[in-house]
């Protein structure tokens, strides 16, 4: 059969075009709220049901659309926002492409009702999956209301590819947060299944909004930023480096009132924090750039999340220098310039990082910093490959493989594989029958390097000679047969405890403690909603929670297994995990998380002095840290140095 070329029917064209703009419910929310903003609305109310799959409703009090214009509103490339191509370079509105409504209407049951102030009644237009109906007069308030139902009803493939309602909801929530931060002075409300998630009143300032969306910890740590350079202006707030996050999600950047993503500018922020936070952790920042409209091209991508700048270097240096100067001026710098104390307090790594920053500032002021191969503050990126000695090939070719780790990647977490440790690597008392019964659904890779029998002897054999010292109450320096290694004592202990807890919990059910008096736990509205959505999974785990207002849940029962964690810590930990991954965790995953948290809490901390016996007992189980993919802070746990490398460094070879 020969295929003939033919023009596609307009409905199909619409569905294809929709793919670019309407990626998921959150993109619809974004487009529609931006329209409302462009229409001069003072108050915008967004309601979604079932993560936006079933319903997205937006009600604004903006200027409205004249009833005659309604059919045009849902036609492609029809817009009131620009008139000609020249306007593209002077864009002051959020949208301009004239695609959004047409695209959305093409793939949903769409209802648009609007009434401009000078029109006595409202008018309504319905579009059923691309079929445009007539304009009908009706009663209604001034402003525009849009309802989007049955998203992708006519494109089952796309509908199937929508993620769980939690995931879609967290995308919508994120969209609203971005819009709210970008546009202060507007009353914005988001509700889901009749529950109000966020309500940002028009008079709430930036810090208030950050408190609302991200909680007190961040809101209380904010440092205001203000910088200017030849027509470019940077304002906003950044968090004290002590408050940081494991992802870059909390770096918000807005250009001319529009949320954007820009790798180079994000890097400028990270650069400004360099030395102040650990590698694998990222700053929290809310930055607002004002750039003359003719120096930025926002018409690069349909969702306008990426933009092109005329002079990106100037923006980079504006961000870097403004934040850095602010840090140097603030109380922070006074604290950093104190001489390093001999006994490091709780977070000695942070102290190290501060010291290093201090040095950097002393040396280099504002210029980009050369990377020093410091072992302490950024072990991961900073180490020259030559230092990571025990690469597999080298190990396997080593003449005396007695205590060589059998793990594929002896450098542990550098590339954080998600492979669990082969069971043979566990010491016998841990890998007994109880851990075989698969309470944890971990696949057991069979293709790993075959475990060396001597490794077990290493773990338990009393003959083994342990030569180790503790330095700065935080790290253990251990002599090994092939050279030496540096171990993060906390990470090692945490890992050991995790294995112990896991073995103990495996094979026995979870005990649940009922509470006489339910305990209220404060959360953010989104966390509250996410937890309540997961109520059944959590109940399976012994965690009984009830609704108690928008920002609070009541805990009725909890797993007796809390360790040194408080109930609030556990609930918040689970909630923020739900928030970050957006996926439904299984019972085993939550349990595993719980055990990790318990292990982390119970483990010795950096800064805890250890006795010789404690060091010895820790070091005897050191093989466990080779599989450190779970180190929750994304840091390496072990650094290895072979004799060969030491000799090379000392130029004996």
Chain residues binding another protein by CB under 8 A are 429, 434, 501, 503-522, 542, 552, 557, 560-561, 563, 566-568
The SS3 call for residue 625 is helix
Alpha-carbon span 593 to 502, nearest angstrom: 11
**Closer CB to another protein, 15 or 439, in the complex:** 439
Tell me how far, at minimum, the Cβ of 423 lies from another protein, in Å: 17
Tell me how far, at minimum, the Cβ of 496 lies from another protein, in Å: 14
| 225, 231, 232, 235: CA torsion to nearest 10 | 30
Tell me how far, at minimum, the Cβ of 508 lies from another protein, in Å: 5
Alpha-carbon span 46 to 454, nearest angstrom: 63
Under a CB-based contact definition with an 8 Å cutoff, are residues 618 and 476 in contact? yes
**Closer CB to another protein, 198 or 501, in the complex:** 501
Rg (CA), the chain: 29
Q: Report which of 101, 98, 92 is spatially closest to residue 37, judged by C-alpha positions.
A: 92
Provide the sign of the torsion angle of the four alpha carbons 642, 343, 489, 574, taken in this order.
negative
The SS3 call for residue 325 is helix
**Closer CB to another protein, 416 or 587, in the complex:** 587
Tell me how far, at minimum, the Cβ of 573 lies from another protein, in Å: 16
Tell me how far, at minimum, the Cβ of 191 lies from another protein, in Å: 25
**Closer CB to another protein, 155 or 505, in the complex:** 505
**Closer CB to another protein, 466 or 567, in the complex:** 567
Tell me how far, at minimum, the Cβ of 515 lies from another protein, in Å: 5
Tell me how far, at minimum, the Cβ of 541 lies from another protein, in Å: 9
**Closer CB to another protein, 346 or 566, in the complex:** 566
Q: Report which of 138, 171, 134, 157 is spatially closest to residue 48, judged by C-alpha positions.
A: 171
**Closer CB to another protein, 328 or 506, in the complex:** 506
**Closer CB to another protein, 192 or 493, in the complex:** 493
Q: What is the DSSP letter of 585?
A: -
Tell me how far, at minimum, the Cβ of 627 lies from another protein, in Å: 21
Alpha-carbon span 200 to 209, nearest angstrom: 7
Alpha-carbon span 638 to 325, nearest angstrom: 35
Under a CB-based contact definition with an 8 Å cutoff, are residues 113 and 140 in contact? yes
Q: Report which of 466, 492, 467, 487 is spatially closest to residue 475, judged by C-alpha positions.
A: 487
Residue 299 CA neighbour count, 13 Å, CB half: 17
Alpha-carbon span 7 to 13, nearest angstrom: 9
Alpha-carbon span 95 to 35, nearest angstrom: 7
Q: Report which of 322, 321, 318, 335 is spatially closest to residue 242, judged by C-alpha positions.
A: 335
**Closer CB to another protein, 228 or 514, in the complex:** 514
Tell me how far, at minimum, the Cβ of 524 lies from another protein, in Å: 16
Cβ neighbours for 220, distance < 8 A, ≥ 6 positions apart: none
Q: How many other CB atoms are there within 10 angstroms of residue 310's CB atom?
A: 12
**Closer CB to another protein, 415 or 511, in the complex:** 511
Tell me how far, at minimum, the Cβ of 242 lies from another protein, in Å: 22
């Amino acid at each position: 059969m020969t295929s003939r070329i033919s023009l596609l029917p307009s409905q199909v064209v619409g569905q294809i075009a929709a793919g670019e703009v309407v990626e998921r419910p959150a993109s619809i929310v974004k487009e529609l709220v931006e329209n409302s903003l462009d229409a001069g609305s003072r108050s915008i109310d967004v309601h979604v049901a079932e993560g936006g799959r079933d319903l997205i409703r937006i009600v604004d009090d903006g200027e409205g659309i004249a009833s005659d214009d309604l059919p045009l509103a849902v036609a492609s490339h029809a817009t009131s926002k620009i008139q000609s191509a020249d306007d593209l370079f002077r864009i002051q509105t959020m949208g301009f492409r004239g695609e959004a409504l047409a695209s959305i209407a093409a793939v949903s049951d769409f209802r648009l009702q609007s009434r401009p102030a000078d029109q006595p009644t409202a008018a309504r237009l319905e579009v059923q999956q691309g079929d445009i109906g007539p304009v009908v007069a009706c009663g209604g308030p001034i402003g525009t209301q849009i309802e989007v139902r049955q998203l992708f009803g006519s494109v089952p493939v796309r509908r199937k590819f929508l993620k769980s309602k939690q995931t879609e909801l967290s995308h919508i929530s994120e969209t609203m947060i971005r819009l709210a931060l970008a546009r202060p002075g507007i009353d914005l409300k988001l509700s889901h299944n009749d529950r109000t998630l966020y309500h940002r009143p028009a008079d709430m300032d930036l810090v208030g909004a950050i408190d609302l969306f991200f909680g007190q910890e961040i809101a209380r740590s904010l440092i205001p930023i203000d910088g200017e350079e030849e027509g470019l202006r940077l304002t906003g707030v950044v968090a004290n480096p002590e408050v940081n996050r494991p992802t870059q999600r909390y770096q918000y950047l807005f250009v001319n009132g529009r949320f954007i993503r820009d790798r180079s500018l994000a890097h400028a922020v990270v650069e400004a924090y360099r030395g102040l936070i650990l590698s694998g952790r990222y700053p929290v920042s809310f930055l607002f750039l004002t750039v003359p409209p003719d120096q930025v091209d926002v018409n690069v991508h349909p969702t306008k999340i990426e933009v092109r700048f005329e002079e990106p270097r100037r923006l980079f240096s504006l961000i870097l220098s403004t934040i850095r100067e602010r840090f140097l001026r603030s109380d922070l710098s006074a604290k950093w310039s104190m001489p390093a104390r001999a006994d490091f307090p709780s977070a000695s790594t942070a102290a190290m990082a501060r010291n290093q920053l201090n040095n950097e500032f002393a040396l280099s002021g504002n210029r980009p910093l050369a990377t020093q191969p410091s072992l302490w503050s950024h072990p991961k990126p900073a180490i020259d490959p030559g230092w990571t000695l025990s690469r597999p090939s080298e190990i396997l070719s080593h003449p005396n493989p007695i205590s060589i780790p059998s793990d594929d990647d002896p450098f542990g977490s550098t590339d954080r594989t998600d492979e669990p440790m082969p069971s043979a690597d566990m010491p016998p008392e841990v890998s007994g029958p109880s851990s075989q019964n698969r309470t944890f659904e971990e696949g057991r890779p069979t293709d790993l390097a075959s475990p060396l029998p001597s490794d077990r002897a290493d773990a338990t054999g009393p003959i083994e000679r342990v030569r180790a010292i503790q330095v700065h109450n935080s790290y253990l320096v251990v002599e090994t047969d092939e050279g030496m290694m540096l171990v993060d004592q906390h990470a090692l202990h945490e890992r050991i405890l995790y294995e112990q807890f896991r073995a103990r919990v495996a094979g026995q059910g979870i005990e649940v403690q009922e509470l006489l008096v339910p305990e209220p736990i404060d959360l953010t509205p989104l966390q509250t909603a996410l937890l309540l959505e997961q109520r059944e999974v959590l109940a399976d785990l012994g965690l009984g929670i009830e609704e108690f207002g928008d920002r609070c849940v009541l805990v009725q029962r909890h797993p007796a297994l809390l360790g040194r964690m408080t109930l609030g810590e556990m609930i918040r930990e689970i909630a923020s995990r739900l928030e970050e991954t957006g996926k439904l965790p299984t019972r085993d995953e939550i349990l595993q998380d719980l055990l990790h948290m318990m292990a982390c809490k119970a483990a010795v901390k950096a800064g805890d002095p250890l006795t010789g016996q404690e060091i010895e007992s820790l070091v005897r189980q050191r093989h466990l840290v080779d599989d450190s993919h779970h180190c929750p802070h994304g840091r390496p746990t072990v650094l290895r140095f072979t004799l060969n490398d030491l000799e090379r460094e000392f130029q004996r070879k």
